[in-house]
Amino acid sequence: MAPSGSRIVTPEAVELDLDAAGLASRFLAALLDLLVMLIILYAVLGVGGVLAQVSSSTGDDTGGILAAVIVLFGTFAVLLLWPTAWEVATKGRSIGKLALGLRVVTIEGAPIRLRHALVRGLTGLVEILFTLGVVAVVVALGSRRFRRLGDHLAGTVVIRERGAGADRATPRRFIPYPGWEAWSARLDATRLTADDYRLVRTFLLRSSSLPLEVRSRLGLLILTRVLRQAGIDPHVAATLGAWSVEAPLVAVAAAYQRRFDPVAPV
């Protein structure tokens, strides 16, 4: 089944999109993640079993209690803490997603944070593990971007980093052009909406593939929209001297990213 993207049709009738991962690739990634979790869980249960056996043979209840604690905490850690920690540490890539070239991002295309990963992990216990994935598949099939229940609750989407469309889907940190750092730092990104950022981001990722005339005209339209949204006269940007339309848009995207992920490395 082909994936469906998050599409924005601009006034120039140019469609900008963010490719979502297909259901098949997500299923394979989930299977790989589950296999790794089962291996770790088997090891945890093995350690608990050995401790319980030793405790039973010696008549020491302390070993039995320790075995129960290890099994209970180990199970909790494997089912929830493990996937959550992986997604936070890798900015949205579990072991399965790394293997399949997938990544979890927010619906605005920004890197996920702890709360996103935790909501996805908690929901995944019910919709994936407890229902054998039935709920996740049903919800994903009814979603335009194959988002499972955890994605809807966390405000996330799984995208492709490799394969067709991966060049447009890969999340990246935008760094202001030389001379635009101070302007970007002063920009009040709190006025910008998720759609504003998505429009800027997808234009920047596709601008090199657009004809020069279309790129310039479309870029100016988008720049005018986001600067007015931020309460800035679009003509003010020209005071910094000669610039391409990408320069102020990159500065806007960088300011928006700092708003949601201020400490992430660039």
pLDDT in tens, 153-206: 998 888 887 544 444 444 467 888 888 888 888 888 888 887 788 888 888 887
Average pLDDT over every residue of 28-44: 90
Is the pLDDT assigned to residue 31 strictly greater than 70?
yes
**Inter-residue contact 25 to 164 (CB < 8 Å):** no
pLDDT at 263 over 60: no
The answer to whether residues 6 and 198 touch, using CB atoms and an 8 Å cutoff, is yes
Q: How many residues are there in the chain?
A: 266
DSSP 235-248: GGGGGG-S--THHH
161 or 21, greater pLDDT:
21
Would the pLDDT of 13 be above 70? no
Of 3-17, 37-51, 106-120, the poorest mean pLDDT is in 3-17
Q: What's the pLDDT score for residue 149?
A: 92
Q: Is the pLDDT of residue 3 over 50?
A: no
* Amino acid symbol at 38: L
Residue 162 confidence (pLDDT):
57
The string of pLDDT tens digits covering residues 60-76 is 667 678 778 888 888 88
Model confidence over 112-141: pLDDT tens digits? Answer: 889 999 999 999 988 988 888 888 888 988
Please give the pLDDT value at position 248: 86
Pairwise CA distance, residues 116 & 86, whole Å = 12
pLDDT tens, position by position, 211-261: 787 788 888 888 888 888 887 776 665 555 456 778 888 888 888 888 765
Residue 122, classified by CB atoms within 10 Å of its CB into exposed (0-12), middle (13-18) or buried (19+), is middle
> What is the DSSP code string of 146-177?
---HHHHHHTEEEEESSSTTHHHH------PP
In the chain, where the domains are located: 23-168, 181-260
Q: What is the number of other CB atoms lying within 10 angstroms of the CB of residue 84?
A: 21
- Can you list the positions of beta strands (E) in 100-241? 102-106, 156-160
Residue 112's closest CA among 66, 143, 154? 154
pLDDT at site 258: 82
DSSP-derived secondary structure letter, 161: S
Model pLDDT, residue 15: 38
